[in-house]
Structure 1
Amino acid sequence: MMYEAQIAGIGDAVPGAGPMNAMMRRIQPRFMTELRERRGRITAGLHGVADLEFVNGGGTGSLEATRADPVVTEMTAGSGLFAGRLFDGYRAFTPAPAAAYAFDVVRRPAPQIATVLGGGWIASGPPGPGRSPQPVWPQGLRLLPREGAGEVQTPLRGAGAAALRAGDRVWFRHAKSGEPAEHVTRYHVVKPGASSPNCLLTAARERRSCEHLRRKDCPPVAELGPQRIGRSPADGAAGQRRRPAAVGRRGRSRG
């Protein structure tokens, strides 16, 4: 089992990282050439002492390159299965947001600020804005630079805060899949259409049922699909039919 960390975990189209992107685009193909040669030698050597049932490779960010390696029999995508925002920074593919979680508004300290309870689900790796959750619905919300996403509370600023009241939910998109998996006990599948199942993650924490996390006027999770409860970031202009936030389109490759 082999993981191409130099490619799988480092994007080459990260917003605001022009020099690093240019460097990654230059050196990552060289990395892959070297890894393909090394993996071939390792596999050949192991075949001399045992019959290999599989040769595993990958990582979400390197699937496009790994599939071209003739010795690889299967590939692995971890965090990318839920298409965290970290994977928006890759040229090779365009992930469709596939999961979201929600936190309740508990305070309105100012007209353009709404504070939710919790929110500090930070991804592993070098600390920075790209490792924080991203508020995606209602639209028009952003983290405060000097506050960020906090373990106890997360203040959000923007035009989208004006209509929020205590008890309303703000939906977030995760950076990687590890941080929501550490905090929740279950994933709920939402079906906006009979032929298009999508994953939606609700903040069903330990010892808390979904009932505790819903407003009284919200439908059961299993019935969210046909309801007009919010607009997905993938929906485009206002006025289109609303769907649960962060339920995205099918992924498409640009490689």
Structure 2
Amino acid sequence: MLRQIILDTETTGLSADNGDRIIEIGCVELVARKLTGNNKHFYLNPGRDSHPDALRIHGISNDFLKDKPKFEAVVEDLLAYLQDAQLIIHNAPFDIGFLNKELELTGRPPLRHFVGEITDTLVMAKEMYPGKRNSLDALCDRLGVDNSGRTLHGALLDAELLADVYINLTRGQDALLVIEEDAQNTGSSQHIALDLQSIQLPIMFATEQEQAAHKAVLTQIDKASGGKTVWRTQQNG
């Protein structure tokens, strides 16, 4: 059964390559497009202060994070939770870049080594709404997802909002997924056997008017083909 994880992070700044670190990870689980409540949430001590611009966005103070675990303390728990799942992330290169850097610092391979497909909802939204704003807030407004409680960015809250956004973005897949789920529950595709011998089809004869029109068309074809109308040959054979 398809297991999807909606994932979001908050960070000390915008550049993992320049030393910024993850301070929060939020994950929401969907199974068969339904919220399971099996979520993961970590606050992390990044070992450095957040940039003032980042602090204004997430509001997570440096003092609050001082007693939180380091990434290496939660990485095994996180990877076991994410194992083989499809990840759904808004602006995936940003979060994946930070996670890959954190994994690299612990001597581990990139995230794709542990998970299945990675879906970027920002790419999906740009394809569906070209030329429009496609931030998470903009998509919530467009798709009727209530984001009134989002005064600051938070990884778990944003993951929960993104789960609703993703379900709305892919609503047209519902019928297909129901069919797939039924097939998975039964272990095979269902085939209905029909006894065609019990069905009697009515025989419809052409009316005189239809027969006359048909002969007129054949006469025109005869003239154009020099008497080589295949239909007449078959009738006379």
Question: By percentage of residues, which structure has more strand?
Answer: 1
Common fold: TM-score over 0.5: no
TM normalised by structure 2 equals 0.25
Question: By percentage of residues, which structure has more helix?
Answer: 2
